[in-house]
Amino acid sequence: MEEPLDLIRLSIDERVYVKCRNDRELRGKLHAYDQHLNMVLGDVEETVTTHEIDEETDEEIVKKATRTVGMLFVRGDVVVLVSPPLRTS
Does the pLDDT at position 88 exceed 80? no
- What's the pTM? 0.87
Q: Write the DSSP string, 18-85.
A: EEETTTEEEEEEEEEE-TT--EEEEEEEEEEEEEEE-TTT--EEEEEEEEEEEEEEE-GGGEEEEEPP
pLDDT, tens digit, for every residue of 26-57? Answer: 999 999 999 999 999 999 999 999 999 988 88
